[in-house]
Amino acid sequence: MSEILTQSIQDYLKQIYDLSADGTPASTNDLAARLGVAPASVTGMLQRLSNVSPALVVYKKHQGATLTVEGERAALEVIRHHRLLETWLVQTLGYTWDEVHEEACRLEHVISEDFERRIAAALGNPVRDPHGDLIPTADLTMPNDDTRPLASLRTGEAGTVKRVHGADPAFLRHLQGLGLVPGAQVHVQAYSEFDGNLTLQVDSHPACVVGLAITKQVFV
Amino acid sequence: MSEILTQSIQDYLKQIYDLSADGTPASTNDLAARLGVAPASVTGMLQRLSNVSPALVVYKKHQGATLTVEGERAALEVIRHHRLLETWLVQTLGYTWDEVHEEACRLEHVISEDFERRIAAALGNPVRDPHGDLIPTADLTMPNDDTRPLASLRTGEAGTVKRVHGADPAFLRHLQGLGLVPGAQVHVQAYSEFDGNLTLQVDSHPACVVGLAITKQVFV
DNA sequence: AAATATTTTTAGTCTAAGCTAAATTTTATT
DNA sequence: AATAAAATTTAGCTTAGACTAAAAATATTT
Ligand SMILES: [Mn+2]
Ligand SMILES: [Mn+2]
Ligand SMILES: [Mn+2]
Ligand SMILES: [Mn+2]
């Protein structure tokens, strides 16, 4: 194989990167769910990706997959494309943050390095995409993220929204309705011990009470 | 099949459109050369494309291929994408006209109709791309071209360059060196009967003598 | 510790899209 | 008209990437 990274392979690597970000290997089933393919297909691909040279993933039967250094580079390459594209679609074509993901998912596999450089330069080498996700640098290192989940704040604490996790357009539009977008100032007015709900003052929006399903996905 | 037009199919349709534009069906060999595949592969694909419903091409053994109405629509769709993308890459990212073709060839298959609409609107619904090729309209009709080859001009005649045929970057850069780009004013100062050479005054460039290999590819 | 449930892998099949080599058909040349 | 050359098609093979059904391994409950 050596150097032909198909779109399909790029998608696998991207998802393995994501699922193994916490240190635990990506499981067959999780990958299958993320990629919309059957688990058996994932097994087949993991075997292939771990047998090419250089290997792109480390895979041991029944123990999930992690990326090799080469695999990670390839994943970061695609992620950089994706996030630059999202930023650029928003800035130059008026896409909204809930619309960009799908388009970027298709474009990320076909743009040239030249195209990448041009949009990065045109955007002023941005550090985060419209959802606040960090954009891997041109030399393919992922900046480290010093944010923490909104869910970890307690009464009286405050912060600036840096990042929102999740690609579901409806979810993103809901957050936008609450004002919970990157850049927003948030004050925690109350914390409910039992359900984890937070009462928030977001910029000048009316106060709102949000549950863990939201506060775990928003980072400050 | 019904509605899944793969990238490969789109490329076949595009080339059939081009090769059969003069009324004669596209031949297997010509298609193979254009697409960079073996003639046998073309035969296989033509059989497939003529057997799907609705059929995309009309194909009779040994007689080449033309497009059906559905095939032509699909081809025009891709061509519209290609030409809008080229225009847009030049206008917004500073690509030069010899650089855009390859990038557009990859992007044309993956952009959404929404993306198409957005760039068309941003560009003010352009009629021609950077090479002067006509852009199919949003409802997928190809405007008709009233240009004629520079080669058909004779001493004393003049015209405005409208279109340049060919995707080879070196060729395009050569034309640019001569000033033969869309918009240029050309006066024919002399015509050589035997080799067909024309002596041209292009805008304020120094006069130049160009052969049929060039004058047949430039349209006024 | 067994039994059950879940996860993962294997085995076998399918389609798209290519390939080569050989056969056939069409076209061009004597 | 016969022959040679060129173009095209057929036949059979390959690879990527999916699928289903069955088998095997691991994890969870009782
Ligand atoms: Mn890149
Ligand atoms: Mn994003
Ligand atoms: Mn379109
Ligand atoms: Mn063009």
Give A151-191 pLDDT, tens digit per residue.
Answer: 999 999 999 999 999 888 899 999 999 999 999 999 999 99
The average confidence (pLDDT) of chain B is 95
Gap between the Cα atoms of A87 and A123, Å rounded: 8
Is the model's pLDDT at A1 over the cut of 50?
A: no
Residue B164 in 3-state DSSP? strand
Q: State whether the beta carbon of A27 lies below 7 angstroms from any atom of strand C.
A: yes
The backbone region for B207, taken as left when phi is positive above 0, alpha when psi lies in -120 to 50, beta otherwise, is beta
Average pLDDT of the segment spanning B78-83: 98
State the best of B6, B78, B91, B92 to mutate against chain A, taking most chain A CBs within 10 Å. B92
C1' (C21) to CA (B31) span, angstroms: 21
Is the model's pLDDT at B1 over the cut of 70?
A: no
Tokens (6 digits) for B220 = 């006024």
pLDDT of residue A112: 97
Which of A95, A103, A110 lies nearest to residue B106, judging by beta carbons?
A110
Tally C-beta pairs within 8 A across A and B.
Answer: 41
Which of A102, A106, A115 lies nearest to residue B103, judging by beta carbons?
A115
CB contact under 8 A, B102 and A110: no
B chain contacts of residue A110, beta-carbon cutoff 8 Å = 106-107, 109-110
Cβ neighbourhood burial of B117 (10 Å; 0-12, 13-18, 19+) = middle
The model's pLDDT over A40-63, given as tens digits with 9 standing for 90+, comes to 999 999 999 999 989 999 999 999
Closest chain B residue to the Cα of A100, Cα to Cα: B115
Q: Which DSSP letter does residue A149 get? A: B
Helices (H), B20-148: 28-35, 39-51, 69-93, 100-107, 113-122
The model's pLDDT over B143-192, given as tens digits with 9 standing for 90+, comes to 999 999 999 999 999 999 999 998 888 999 999 999 999 999 999 999 99
CB contact under 8 A, A112 and B103: yes
A chain contacts of residue B92, beta-carbon cutoff 8 Å = 92, 122
pLDDT of residue A55: 96
Share of chain B above pLDDT 90, in %: 95
Closest-CA distance, A107 to chain B, in angstroms, reads 6
Cβ contact B27:B42 at 8 Å: no
With CA of B62 and C1' of each nucleotide, the nearest comes out as D8
State the best of B82, B86, B110 to mutate against chain A, taking most chain A CBs within 10 Å. B110
DSSP B125-142: --SB-TT-PBPPPTTS-P
Closest chain A residue to the Cα of B106, Cα to Cα: A110
pLDDT of residue A2: 54
Gap between the Cα atoms of B218 and A61, Å rounded: 62
CB contact under 8 A, B112 and A119: no
Contacting residues for A162 by C-beta, under 8 A, at least 6 apart? A128, A132, A147, A182, A219, A220
Helices A39-51 and A28-35 pack at an angle, to 10 degrees, of 110
Gap between the Cα atoms of A158 and B205, Å rounded: 66
Q: State whether the beta carbon of A44 lies below 7 angstroms from any atom of strand C.
A: yes
pLDDT of residue B167: 86
Which of B106, B115, B122 lies nearest to residue A103, judging by beta carbons?
B115
pLDDT of residue B2: 54
Whether a cis peptide bond, with omega within 30° of 0, leads into B54 is yes
Measure the CA angle with vertex B8, ends B5 and B10; round to 5°: 50
Is the model's pLDDT at B87 over the cut of 70?
A: yes
**Full set of structural domains in chain A with CATH:** 2-67 (1.10.10.10), 73-144 (1.10.10.10), 150-219 (2.30.30.90)
Residue A15 in 3-state DSSP? helix
What's the gap in Å between B173 CA and the centre of ligand 4? 14
CB contact under 8 A, B107 and A102: no
Closest chain B residue to the Cα of A116, Cα to Cα: B93
Measure the CA angle with vertex B185, ends B188 and B189; round to 5°: 15
Closest-CA distance, A138 to chain B, in angstroms, reads 18
Average pLDDT of the segment spanning B54-59: 97
Which of B95, B110, B118 lies nearest to residue A110, judging by beta carbons?
B110
Listed residue (B195, B166, B194, B196) closest to B180, CA to CA: B166
Protein-proximal nucleotides of chain C (any atom < 7 Å from a CB): 7-12, 16-22, 25-26
Closest-CA distance, B2 to chain A, in angstroms, reads 22
Helices (H), chain A: 7-19, 28-35, 39-51, 69-93, 100-107, 113-122, 169-178, 212-215
